[in-house]
Amino acid sequence: MRRVRAPGRVNLIGEHIDYNGLPVLPFALNREIVLEYRPRADRRVILHNTDSGFPPVEFTLSGDLAAAAAGSWGNYPRAAAQILWRETGPLMGLEGEVSSTLPIAAGLSSSSALVVATALALLDASGREVPREQLMSLLARGERYVGLQGGGMDQAISLAGRQGHALRIDFRPELRLTPVPVPPDWRIIVASSLVEAAKSAGAKESYNTRVGQTRTALEQVATRGLGIAPPTDYADLLNRVPAEEALARAESVLDEVLYRRFRHVVTEAGRVDAAVEAMHASDLPGFGRLLHQSHVSLRNDYEVSCAELDQLVAIAESAGAVGARLTGAGFGGCTLAACSTTAVDGVMEALAREFYAPRGVSDLGDVLFTATPSDGAGIA
């Protein structure tokens, strides 16, 4: 048996901007998808899941795979298989078992980790290699098979995570990964809202709506506000026009909703730059302020928070976290909170007491934990 592991991720800052060509700052988690498998001599893929709530998955490899029902976990292996077949040639099949230490539908990228794990296993079973950076781009495109118009952050960090570091991921003018050390006296707490963030199912329409809104806003700001040809993406725009000017022009030409979407994207990009500087300077209070600002923007301008996420943020900040925010797409999922080593126990105790205990949750292993920056995917 062969074994491949692919970690999930927590995105420190830079939310809902990777699909607009702007940089993000995630790190790979010490929680992962594991696929134990053996190659087959035919084109069949047969996968079982150690969680009995997920039925077996079977399909025949090709470059044109019919999707399973919306929300099916089997669509993620299909996504990896279809793009690899189309871009690298015919593949050999495999049979294996999937297990996970990642909470599902929690905004920690368990789905992309499954795509990455399947892709690495299929390439290994077929005796083929694809350079990691090329694979990141392929799988980002391939995962759109599930109908979600996402960016490339999740696949990149799962493949390229580095122990003890976050990665600043730039997408323009080309993919660039820059390690940023996480100060050793910082702690990142992840807390589940207990609300599923099922992007492949219920939240997909809301997510894709915002993708469309940001692109409409970009075009209108360029053509009506600035009198220039529509840029490729927001990275292109902000290379040509200062953020302050873009925001001023946007306010004069966009309706209220589109302006708020535009404002989130532009200001969140600035927060990524500032967060990298804060980490290099070990400026934990400054980093925390950026997290808080990001959450306010995601709640008010992008409208992807919910009451449970807002409550988790408030509890963490009141208990000693320097800042907190939702992480991932929103619509449920998780928050992250940054604090010092001396404050971490108090923050976790407050979250357990004020959020989870009233909801009858006593087993906190999968819903409240400190996140450790870890290495990316690999085969053993």
Task: For residue 120, give the CATH number of its domain.
Answer: 3.30.230.10
The two tokens of residue 339 are 């604090």
Contact of 32 with 7, CB cutoff 8 Å: yes
> Is residue 208, in this structure, part of any structural domain at all?
no
Q: Render pLDDT for 220-256 as a digit per residue (tens, 0 to 9).
A: 999 999 999 989 999 999 999 999 999 999 999 999 9
- Angle at which helix 256-280 crosses helix 284-300, to 10 degrees, equals 170
pLDDT reported for residue 200: 47
The b/e string for 193-214 (b: 16+ C-beta within 10 A; e otherwise) is bbbbbbbbbebbeebbebbebb
Q: Containing H/E element for 84? A: helix 75-88
Q: State which residues form the domain around 136.
A: 2-181
> Is residue 316, in this structure, part of any structural domain at all?
no
Q: Does residue 154 have a pLDDT over 60?
A: yes
Chain centre to alpha carbon of residue 366: 18
Specify the 3-state DSSP secondary structure of 310: helix
DSSP state of 201: T
The two tokens of residue 364 are 């906190």
Q: In which band, very low, low, confident or very high, does the pLDDT at 363 lie, cut at 50, 70 and 90? A: very high
> Is residue 21, in this structure, part of any structural domain at all?
yes
Contact of 215 with 262, CB cutoff 8 Å: no
> Is residue 213, in this structure, part of any structural domain at all?
no
pLDDT reported for residue 144: 83
> Is residue 88, in this structure, part of any structural domain at all?
yes
pLDDT reported for residue 373: 98
CA distances from 379 to 37, 39, 76, 111, 373 (A): 11, 14, 19, 18, 19
Mean pLDDT score of the chain, rounded to an integer?
95
Q: Does residue 354 have a pLDDT over 80?
A: yes
Q: Does residue 150 have a pLDDT over 80?
A: no
Q: Does residue 201 have a pLDDT over 70?
A: no
Give the global pTM.
0.94
Q: Containing H/E element for 268? A: helix 256-280
Q: Render pLDDT for 310-350 as a digit per residue (tens, 0 to 9).
A: 999 999 999 999 999 999 999 999 999 999 999 999 999 99
Residues marked as catalytic: 154
Contact of 107 with 328, CB cutoff 8 Å: yes
Using CA atoms, how far apart are residues 33 and 41, in angstroms rounded to an integer?
25
Q: Does residue 112 have a pLDDT over 70?
A: yes
The angle at the Cα of 162, spanning 156 to 168, to the nearest 5 degrees, equals 55
Q: Render pLDDT for 301-315 as a digit per residue (tens, 0 to 9).
A: 999 999 999 999 999
DSSP state of 229: P
The total number of structural domains that make up the chain: 1
Q: Does residue 365 have a pLDDT over 70?
A: yes
> Is residue 130, in this structure, part of any structural domain at all?
yes
Chain centre to alpha carbon of residue 164: 18
Q: Does residue 202 have a pLDDT over 60?
A: no
Q: Does residue 184 have a pLDDT over 80?
A: yes
Q: Which residues pair with 323 in a beta bridge?
A: 338
> Is residue 267, in this structure, part of any structural domain at all?
no
Contact of 370 with 351, CB cutoff 8 Å: no
Strands 176-181 and 334-340: unpaired
Q: In which band, very low, low, confident or very high, does the pLDDT at 210 lie, cut at 50, 70 and 90? A: very high
What's the residue count for the chain?
380
The two tokens of residue 95 are 């049979």
CA distances from 149 to 152, 215, 353 (A): 10, 12, 38
> Is residue 174, in this structure, part of any structural domain at all?
yes
